[in-house]
Structure formats: structure tokens, C-alpha cells
Structure 1
């Protein structure tokens, strides 16, 4: 049933939805926020995106598409900030956001990541509009001993901030059932205050290439993501080193390092040299969306090596490109993102991964079936269907009595 047009304020404080993922602190969240906004606009809704100005030359407002605008708000220095330094921007961003939202009428505020929620939730309360929160990643507990528990908190305010917005939001929208379980376990959000809307994929941009044989023989393996320990690009290097030399495989590492991990690229380069694979590794840096789509459809397989992923959007994009995925089973929502044709492993032993890659690429008929299955699976996950489900959630929240808009009644974090 169609939802009457809504006016939505979508908040992404620390990173612009227009930034290409894989560089600095941009990632799958950027894609989700932008593509959801565009899909909602195609359904007739108005979405205004609000982000922190990190470039003094950026215009105040960018008309992204019909029904979608991006607003740059002044909050702290008009320069990039490391995530570990981003808390200083929350209070000034909150003030700037209040001034912006107070000039109009909004149906709801939807914050993405905890920085955004801590800034926007008090504004939504004061203006009397519902607030929805999406985390996109949930901080690992303070006593976590392994990266598979999630992303370590980059600053002291993260875990209290996540708890504040989890308690105070009308609805928490997660990107996977796995993330929803984590939010429920760590912050006690359950029942009708927790919903799942999985990301989609642009199957026109991410599409298969015509030649499978080129991808199987002398194959290129692809890793894409921010270069940081959580994403484990070092494991991709280990896998390459353990492959049969006769396969003549190479590895492309697509992504950049954020300010908090500036030295990590050098560590990876040193590790490649130690493993003797430097001549077969390309450090490609951050790629634009079209460039990434080309790399994906030319790759023999995607290595999704992350210790933890709330969903694993790159897996869906690879499958839409007809590129099978080899991933780790314990990485949060990855199992929801990888369909038939993919290989999800319960071991991080590089020999096990190397054997899986060789088995996948060494069977011509099996590989062709994996390619078809991957594409068919991805084709069922569109941004349009996700936007329809999200709009239905919005309508439900907007239709509540005003007394429901502030569940916690607490003070700002």
C-alpha cells in the first residue's frame, strides 16, 4: 500500500553520503544512506541529508536529485576529522541542525551512526518529531578480546552514546538480523522498537562481464574496504601467499586508510614483502562507484575477510556483478548477505581459504553455476523494495500518538 509523501531529515554527521566508500571513514553506510534516500525520493518522499562540513569550499546545499538535497552544516573545523576526534563536533553540529530543522516542518529524523544520533535526538525531542536510529556498526564491549566482537570504540563517548540513542529513539533500524540481535543483547532494544531493513544493490551498475574464462585463468582476487585491522586485508595477503603458484593469481586491495590508521598501509606493504607477494598485489586506493563496479565484474572472486560486518554490502555488490564471494562465517550479518554460489568459511586458516578459492576457480561448470546463482540472489535485493519497507516503518512511527515520541525521557548524552 503506497505511503503518503513524507519529509525526512536523514543525519550523517561524520561522513558525507556523497563520499565514495573505501576511503577515509566512508564505507557501506555512505552507500546505504544515499541509495535509501534516492529510492525514497523515487517513491515520492522528500529527503534532506545533513552532514558536517569538512571542506570550506563545499556549497551549503547540493541538489543531489529530485527530492534529495544534501546540507553541509558548520560544526568544528571545516576540515577532515579522525573518528577519534569527532566527538568535539557533536555539540556544534546539534546547534546547527536545530537551526536548520526549526525553519521547516518535518515528519521524522533518521540518524545514521551514533555521532548523528547523539546530536540529533535532543533536537528531534525539542521539535516534537519522531527519531529513528541506525547504527551501521555497534561498538564492541569494553572487555572484548577479539575483533570479531565488533568495531572497537574510537572514543570514550561511543558506548554511552549508543546506549543513549538506543534508549531514546522511537525505532532502531538495523541492517541485518545479526545486528538486531547485537543491539537487543547489548542495549535491550526489542519488540516493536527494533526493525530490520537490509541494504539493496544497483543491479544495473553492478553487472556481470561476458567472459568467465578470463576470470578463472590467471585470476584477480579482490578485497575492497577501508584499510584497517577490523577489515583484515592482511588476511587477504595471507590467502594469496598460500595459493598454488600455478594458479598465477593476483590480488587487488581497493580502499584507503582513515586518519586513525594512517600507518596501516605501510604495515600491509611490509607484510606483502615478507610473504613474497609484492609483485602480485596492487594497492589500488579508494575507488569511485563505477570504477569499483568494473573491478568487481572483472574479478574471479571477492575475499570478504572482515572480522565483523553488520551486513557486508560489498558481498551483495560482488554477487550482482556475478562475482562469487569467499567470506568468514562469524562476521556478523555476512551470512545474510551471501547467497547460493558463495563460500562462507568457519575457519580463518589461510590454507583453508586458499583451498576454497582454488576449488571455486578450478571447476569450470561449478564456477559458471556460482556466477549465475550469485547474480540471481542479488537481483532479489533491490533498493526500491527496501525503500518501500522503510517508508512503511516511517508511516507507522509518524502515525503514533505524540506521547510515544520520547521513550526514555532522559537527558542528552
Structure 2
């Protein structure tokens, strides 16, 4: 099987240098950055191409040995809503084509695009350079439309058709879970033999068990409170409104619970939420507090300071937050959707909740408060479970997908 020494990653949607939880940055930022760093450690050089979002950004910068981030001029040099990105695919393709000579002559073996907008660009560039394209969806329009029927506008047809073109044209598709692989097959007609299932990972050096007391002291939280944490973008898709409704019901039913709820993140996307008015209307301003996104090392303290981390998402391709929280020894209460059932082992590392009713979520929170030994056992199981998801494993399996793509692409070209 041919070796792969250099890969060009396309991430028009967002830069791996952005703060997760802010704007449109999230798990995909963590994914691209972490996989790139681990690929470099196993001998695969990575060039990441993204859109310039600030005048101060250099044309390229080194993220680590063997990993470079290139900022291409495509559209205005500032952040724009991701809904506007399809209008920039032509300019991004042109900007990338300008450096295509350097790519073609620089020993690039494969292109790897992330999210559908990058995938459509990747198809064009791959044809120009005569290189195989590997694509990671991260999220899919048809899946979101099925799961969010009553939560906002449907994903646009241009995205659906763009994703279909990528599925049909990419040499390999990388799915986070077997569930996502099945969705690619059933909803987009992908061929199973072109799909590689590669689970995301977790930074086990940053996210690991520690003292809840120490983390609470650092964050100035009372030791005896029942602390619930949500971390993610403040949008309907992620479900923080479900948490607020559940907390309102729980407070009314069980005023004896010393409840503290921390929501970390910022508003994002067309389904962004104004969460503070919901909190105020529910009379929860003394219990539920909003905080801005934080760096990974600080986020680990928030997870360690929590009794439970909640993910009431309506759609998740995997759920990196669930892994990070579990790695810190904290159980996760997650919606039974998408990849979350594979990220969270129900009854062993956390609990999966069916649906998004306030009653269902408040009952699950109440159960975890009332049964401290069970909650602590879930936390111990969570820490062990997360050990199987290091980023090195993700990178090695990704490199294997690259080699398969190159081998099959070369055999077709030789015919």
C-alpha cells in the first residue's frame, strides 16, 4: 500500500485556530486541529487551508512541527455566518487554485475536506490536481432536517445537493460512527465499501480525572451544590433551552436540591438562542448562569467541577463534549440521538434520555441527584471509557483511510 507523507486539509467552514464554542466554531475545530497534530506526530505532514477572517492573519502560520495553517482570501476578511459560505465556494476554489502549483509540486498525496462547503471545493481542486479526495461530513443536512422539524428553517437545497455531489465524488468518506455510516448509505446512497468509520478522540493529557473540590475552589463554586454543566454553542440544535425548561420543572418539584447550572458558550447560527430571557422568564437567574467559552485547560476544570454534564442535542454526529467530560470522570446526561449513544455508554458512563421533554430531563437529573453512589460509579466508568478514545488512534485510522484512497485512486488512474 503506498505511503502517505503529506495531506492538504480543507476547512472553509472554520479555522482550527478559532475558540470552540464561539461563533460557528465547535467540535469540528477541535477535530481538525487534533487529527492534524497527531498525523504530524506519526510522520504525515499537514497543510490546512481555511478562509482568512482577520486582516492581521498572516498568509500562513505554523501550528506545530509538520502542521501549517494557510489563510486564503475568500470573501470579506472577517467572520460571516456559515449560511453565507456557499456564496464563497467559487472564490475559495480560485484562491486555492492559485497555490495549486505549490501543492501539486509539493508532494501532496491526498486532499481531506471537512464539512460540505469544503467538500464541494475539494471536488473541483481534486480534479485539477488529479488527487483523491477524502471527506468528513461532521453534520448532514438530511439528518438535521429529520431531527429538527419544528426547531427552525430546514437546511437549504444547495446544501443537500452539495452533500450529494461530495458523497458521489469523493474517493473515501470518513464517518464518526456506524450510525453516521448507515445514514450516508440510506439517505445519500453512499457505497458501504467507500466508508471508513473512525471515531473522534479526546485529549487525555488535558481532560483527565482530578479533584472536584480543587476545581470548584478554582472556579469559586460552593462545594455542596448539585452542579450541572452545559458546554457548546447557544443554538436550538444543541438544546440548552431543553435544559432551562427541565431545571424550571425540577426546581418547582424539588426545591430542596441545591442546584447550580452553568452554561458555557456563545450564540451561533441561524437558530441562535437568546437564552437569558428564557432564564429570567423561568425565574432561574439565581440558579442558571451564562459564561463565555473557555480554553481546553479551563474547560477541564468546569467538567471536573460538575456533578453531571448535559447534552440535550437534537443532532450530534458524535459529541466531543461527551468524551471530554467523561475523560474528566464526570457522567454525561445525553440525548439518545446520532452518535451520542456510541460516545456515552448508557447506564455505565452516563444516561441516555429519550426525547426532549422537560419532564424526561428533569427526572433524569433528579435521579442522579438522589443516588450519589450510582452517580459516582458512572463517573468512574466514564473515566475508563474515555481512555479508549485517544486522538492518536483517530489519526492512525485516518491515515489508513488516506492510504486506501491513494491506492484505489492510483489503480483507477492506471486503467
The alignment status of 1:288 with 2:288, answered yes or no, reads no
Pairwise CA distance, 1:154: 4.8
In structure 2, what is the equivalent of residue 80 of structure 1? 79
In structure 1, what is the equivalent of residue 408 of structure 2? 400
Pairwise CA distance, 1:343: 0.4
In structure 2, what is the equivalent of residue 253 of structure 1? 263
> SS state of the match for residue 321, structure 2?
helix
Change (3 A) 1:228 1:384: same
Deviations 1:333-364 (A, max 9, x none): 10000022210122423223222222223323
Contact 2:349 2:379 in 1 (8 A): yes
> SS state of the match for residue 69, structure 2?
strand
Q: State the alpha-carbon separation in 2 of the partners of residues 139 and 347 from structure 1.
A: 20
Q: State the alpha-carbon separation in 1 of the partners of residues 294 and 66 from structure 2.
A: 27
Pairwise CA distance, 1:391: 1.0
Contact 2:176 2:200 in 1 (8 A): yes
Q: State the alpha-carbon separation in 2 of the partners of residues 333 and 327 from structure 1.
A: 10
Describe how 1:82-161 pairs up with structure 2 within 5 A.
Answer: 82-103=81-102, 104-140=106-142, 144=145, 146-147=147-148, 154-161=155-162
Match of 2:351 among 334, 343, 348: 343
Pairwise CA distance, 1:304: 0.5
Change (3 A) 1:240 1:383: same
Deviations 1:15-67 (A, max 9, x none): 00111211111111111111001111110110111100011110111100011
The alignment status of 1:312 with 2:314, answered yes or no, reads no
Deviations 1:123-142 (A, max 9, x none): 11111110011110000379
Q: What is the TM-score normalised by the length of structure 2?
A: 0.91
Contact 2:334 2:352 in 1 (8 A): yes
The alignment status of 1:219 with 2:229, answered yes or no, reads no
Contact 2:152 2:271 in 1 (8 A): no
In structure 1, what is the equivalent of residue 340 of structure 2? 334
Stretch of structure 1 that moved more, 51-60 or 4-13? 4-13
Describe how 1:56-75 pairs up with structure 2 within 5 A.
Answer: 56-75=55-74
> SS state of the match for residue 246, structure 1?
coil
The alignment status of 1:207 with 2:208, answered yes or no, reads yes
Match of 1:271 among 271, 278, 298: 278
Stretch of structure 1 that moved more, 15-24 or 392-401? 392-401
Contact 1:11 1:111 in 2 (8 A): yes
Pairwise CA distance, 1:181: 1.3
> SS state of the match for residue 377, structure 2?
helix
Q: State the alpha-carbon separation in 1 of the partners of residues 413 and 168 from structure 2.
A: 12
Count of aligned residue pairs for this structure pair: 400
Unaligned 5+ residue runs, structure 1? 407-413
Contact 1:305 1:327 in 2 (8 A): yes
Pairwise CA distance, 1:212: 7.0
In structure 1, what is the equivalent of residue 328 of structure 2? 321
Contact 1:138 1:150 in 2 (8 A): no
Pairwise CA distance, 1:291: 2.1
The alignment status of 1:375 with 2:377, answered yes or no, reads no
Q: State the alpha-carbon separation in 2 of the partners of residues 110 and 247 from structure 1.
A: 48
Pairwise CA distance, 1:403: 5.8
Contact 1:137 1:309 in 2 (8 A): yes
Contact 2:4 2:402 in 1 (8 A): no
Change (3 A) 1:174 1:148: farther
> SS state of the match for residue 76, structure 1?
coil
Deviations 1:273-331 (A, max 9, x none): 221111111111222222222211111111110011111111011100111001111x2
Contact 1:21 1:30 in 2 (8 A): yes
Contact 2:142 2:187 in 1 (8 A): no
Contact 1:23 1:226 in 2 (8 A): yes
Match of 1:231 among 238, 244, 249: 238
Q: What is the TM-score normalised by the length of structure 1?
A: 0.91
Q: State the alpha-carbon separation in 2 of the partners of residues 181 and 194 from structure 1.
A: 10
Q: State the alpha-carbon separation in 2 of the partners of residues 313 and 327 from structure 1.
A: 12
Q: State the alpha-carbon separation in 1 of the partners of residues 11 and 342 from structure 2.
A: 25
In structure 2, what is the equivalent of residue 410 of structure 1? none
Contact 1:252 1:281 in 2 (8 A): yes
Q: State the alpha-carbon separation in 1 of the partners of residues 46 and 151 from structure 2.
A: 30
